[in-house]
Structure formats: C-alpha cells, structure tokens
Structure 1
Amino acid sequence: MERILVATDFSERSDRAIRRATLLAKTTGASLTLIHVVDDDQPQRILQAEQQASEAVLAEQTLSLRKIDELACTFRIVLGDPFEGIATAVREDNADLLIIGPHRRRALRDVFVGTTAERTIRASNRPVLMANGVPAAPYRNVLVAVDLSECSATAVRALQQLGLETSAAVSVIHVFDAPAAGLMVQASSTKDQIKAYLADEEERASGELATFLEECDLMPTRRIMKYSESSTAHTICAAAQEISADLIAVGTRGRTGIAKALLGSVAEEVLRISDRDVLAVPPGRD
C-alpha cells in the first residue's frame, strides 16, 4: 500500500478516520492525502469563504501529521458533490485505499437515501475503510466474510495487497445456506434428520471453502462455518464480536440467486450495524 486518501468534514467522526489512517501509514509506509469536499452549489462569496477556512484547517492538520507523526502528508480541496468529488479524487490520486469515518445513524433517512458511507462506497472503485472503532492500535484480528464468489476473492486479494493481514490474525467466515431445512421443518422431519442434513450441508460448504481459500492462497488462523438462519450480516457481526475482530472485510457485491448469500446487500447491512471497522471492497477498478 502506497497511497491512502482520507475524507474529512472536520467532524469527530472524521478525526477517527484520520487517526486510523495515521496508524496504517506508520505500519505500511504509505503517504496520506486529506480530502475535503466543498459544495459548489452556493453563492460565490460563501464558497470562497468556505474554501479559505477549509484550507486553513487542512494545512494545520497536515503540518501536525508531518511534524508529530513524521508522515508524508498533503491535502486537497474538491468542489462539487461530496460523493462524486471523493470518488474522483480517489481515481485521480490513484489511491490504494479510501478511509472514511462512521456514518450518522439516522434511521428514516438511511432507509430512503442510504447512508453517507454507502453512497461514498458506491461511487468509489477502490477499497473503502469505514473507521467505526476507536483507533488505538494496529489491527490484530481481521474477519473476512466470503460467499465463494469472485467478488469475495477480490476482497481477499485486496486485504493481501493492502498488507492488512501481515501483522494480524486472519479468520474467515462463510455463512452457508441449507435450502431444504425449512421444507424439512414444514414436512415434520425429526430433529435428528434436520441435524444430519445440516451436517451434510456444512461438510459440503467446508469443502468448497477449502478449495476457495487454496485458490486465493490464503491460510486463515480460523475458519468459521455458520448456517444462515436469519440475517447473514448479523451472523457476520456476531462472529466478529465472538472472536474480538477489530476489522471486518467484505466484498460489496457477490453471488445472486436462490442462495441469498449476497455480499452486496449483506455488505450494506454490515456497514449499517457493525461497531467494528469495515473494509468494503468493490469488484474491481474501472
């Protein structure tokens, strides 16, 4: 990892993103660029005043990161729509990683227009790290959620390319589906019959996961198999809590169809509910 871009709106949430970026830059040797987007849909006088004020704050933050943290750091102000402005800056700077702060959880607004984090991630074609947790130390325990799709393989490769697995224990979770389980319950199958069926499905899924990991050249310290009884995202987040993971990595789009192991809708729900950092990886660069 060579270049990290951090989006800031000068809030406490953004301060969390900058702190996480600082820790990653120290670990990987990457350079930092702070980016702030100024909405250009306002009177020129106000626009210029906001630009000047933003430049003063960014210059102070950049100087602090250079002198105190001894990092290579610059800043950039972009005029335009916040989401498209950030995405454009990521592409133009050829950033390896975009870091943003946690979104504001506003239930009704989130339902209708999506969270700021989700809209930013949809506009970006590079991995996006949402810094939810308090960034006190480098990552020690990473949980990668996979559905065995090419999108999940891309997420694994991104984790490796960013160097996020070098100093952390990496666990993998695969939430598998057992489509006949519900029908067996309706057909009054015995508990032993259902248990045996789930065991067979888990064994099958475990074999598929082993093949997937071998193809990805990943040897996790732990493999977690979970049957998808309800929300896949909640299952992933619960597993992250159980193993004390401080980072969850997911692909932003995945398998479609009957299985419903969608690392697309799943990724969005993880972003909404996780109290851990989330690395959202898109399918690939344009």
Structure 2
Amino acid sequence: MRILVATDFSPRSQRAVRRAGILAGQSGGGVILMHVVEGAGAREVARDVCEAQRMTVELVTVVPELFRVECRALVVAGALPDAVLDAATAREADLIVVGAPLRGTARDPGRMVRNLIRSAPCPVLVVNRPAAGPYARVMLPVDLTDASARALRSAASLGLADDAHVTVVHAFEVLGKPKLSGFGVPHEQIDGYVEGWRSSFAEEVEAFLGAEDLAGRDWVRRVEEGRADEVIANLAARTCSELLVMGTHARTGIRRALLGSVTEAVLSVGGADVLVVPPPRSGADSRLDRPGRPSAVRAERPALRVVSV
C-alpha cells in the first residue's frame, strides 16, 4: 500500500505521520512524507524548501512508527490542496493521510481538507486521535448505496477491519412518525410501527452485506432510529469507535461543492478518525468500483394499523 501523508510539522500532523507509519507497518507498504511550501517570493520559497527538506528527513529519523517502514521525503513548492492531489495522482497513492484541522483559527484549514477530499483520487484518512496502535474499534455507517459499498470494500482492501471490532450501523427515520401522536395513535402502536421499520431495514442491511460478500464477517449490526449524523456521532461515542469509514456520493455542478450533509457533520464533530472514500473519477478504472454489484433486496415497509376499541 502506498500512503501519502501530508505534514506541516504541527502536533496535529504529527498524529497523521504516526498513523501512516502504523498502517504501512501493518500492510508492508511504504510512506511518502510530504510537505508543501507556499509563498510568493522565489528566494524565500527556495530557502523554505531547503529548511523543510531538512525537517522532513529529521522527522523520518525520530518517529518510531517509521523506523521499519520504507519512507521517502517529498518537499515541493505549490499551493494546497492541489500539490497534494498532484503528488497522490502521480505516485498512484492508495491512501492520503492528513491531520484533522484545528477549529476556530483565522485561516480555515478545514476548507482545504474538504477540498482535498472532494477531488482526491483515493481514500482520505483524516486523523483526529493520537496514534497508539492499530485501530481496535471501527464503525462502518451504511446508507445502502454504492457509496457505502465502496466504503466497505475500501475498509476491507486497506486491511482496516481485519483485526478490529467492527460495527455496521444504518440510521433510519420513520415516515410520518412525528404526526402520529397528534392523531391520537397510542404509543404502543407507534413503537410497534417503528420496530417494524427497524426489522425491515435490518433485512436490507444483511442483504446489502451479502451482495458485497461480507455477510459472513463477524461484524456487529446496528439499525438505529434517528438522523444519520446524530446516530453516528452518538453511537461512535458510546462504542468508543476509533475510526469511522464513510463513502461520498458522485456529484456534478454546484452539488459537487458539497461532501454531503452527513459526512460534513461527522467531520466537524471530531473525536474519531474518519476515512472518507470518494467516488471513482469519471472514466477511471477503479479497483473499488464494481458497476455490476447486485442490488440488496428491499424489504417491504410495514404499514401502521390503528385498532379502535
């Protein structure tokens, strides 16, 4: 596995470097340690490039997770995130690793991370947590779409779910539920209505995993009622998940500027690391893309039956 990790030598990017070293050690892959020098004056940029090259080589020698890993330093002058995207494409990176942006700063590094994810040629891992070892608890939120299928395949191909406790979660909202109490429907019947929806979605999740040849995995399945972003954040906190794996949908035009409300919300919360798997580029032959993937069986939604006495 080829891992490109971007560093600005800050503590948050140090976490990304250590995580990249751990992942490379697990997979027997290599790390490209990259720093981008931004600036206007040619003389200043040249001086900063030389200094960054020295610091990058020094970083390789002091980070324990890089000691037994093939590691190359790459320092370029350019603009973020384009320089990282160009390097990842040219070197056929399997994974880009970046530190989670600091919040509340004058400059908005969060915007650069989001722009990187939107145009990335491969999955992007945003590191929030200190890296102490391989991921032990991984959560895979699924919305039963091709985006989630790509995320599942990516987690499997990168080895992120091999030795971890994995939870697959699907969030659902019940059609018309907020109005039922106002119509005088008893709570017991509403609860039964919700459980019927939960059961039908549980069948869809199992069929979805089966379509990806993942039904036999010893993964916990959770089907939770509520808004997707809230369900994911709350369950991740309760299960102490260290990594969330999420897919983004292909978009065009103005909608291409959006990652999707759920992914945006999860990235903004922080806490766990987040692996974001983008759609394959148009016309690209992606190893994670399987257009012929069979569709999951859609279970019939239960209807609410109001019984009068």
Alpha-carbon distance, 1:107 to partner:
8.1
Deviations 1:60-81 (A, max 9, x none): 1234469971210001123222
Tell whether 2:187 aligns with 1:191: yes
1:53 equivalent in structure 2: 51
**Matches of residues 77-226 of structure 1 in structure 2 within 5 Å?**
77-106=75-104, 115-218=111-214, 219-226=217-224
Within 2, Cα distance between the matches of 1:67 and 1:168? Answer: 19
Alpha-carbon distance, 1:264 to partner:
2.4
Q: Extract unaligned runs of 5+ from structure 1.
A: 256-261
Alpha-carbon distance, 1:35 to partner:
0.9
Q: Match of 1:82, SS?
A: coil
Within 2, Cα distance between the matches of 1:64 and 1:205? Answer: 49
Alpha-carbon distance, 1:192 to partner:
1.5
2:277 equivalent in structure 1: 281
2:296 equivalent in structure 1: none
Contact 1:251 1:263 in 2 (8 A): no
Report the count of equivalent residues.
274
Q: Which has the higher helix share?
A: 1
CA distance 1:13–1:268, change in 2 (3 Å): same
Q: Match of 1:160, SS?
A: helix
Counterpart of 1:160, as a letter, is: A
Contact 2:18 2:65 in 1 (8 A): no
Within 2, Cα distance between the matches of 1:220 and 1:185? Answer: 39
Task: State the TM-score, normalized to the length of structure 1.
Answer: 0.89
Deviations 1:127-151 (A, max 9, x none): 1111111111111111000000000
Per mean C-alpha deviation after superposition, the further-off stretch among 70-79 and 178-187 is: 178-187
Within 2, Cα distance between the matches of 1:67 and 1:19? Answer: 6
Tell whether 2:268 aligns with 1:272: yes
Counterpart of 1:32, as a letter, is: V
Contact 2:139 2:243 in 1 (8 A): yes
Tell whether 2:15 aligns with 1:16: yes
Deviations 1:72-111 (A, max 9, x none): 000112322211111111111111111111111128976x
1:259 equivalent in structure 2: none
Q: Match of 2:280, SS?
A: coil
Counterpart of 2:168, as a letter, is: V
Q: Match of 2:122, SS?
A: coil
Within 2, Cα distance between the matches of 1:14 and 1:196? Answer: 48
Q: Extract unaligned runs of 5+ from structure 2.
A: 252-257, 285-309
CA distance 1:93–1:274, change in 2 (3 Å): same
Task: State the TM-score, normalized to the length of structure 2.
Answer: 0.82
CA distance 1:267–1:209, change in 2 (3 Å): same
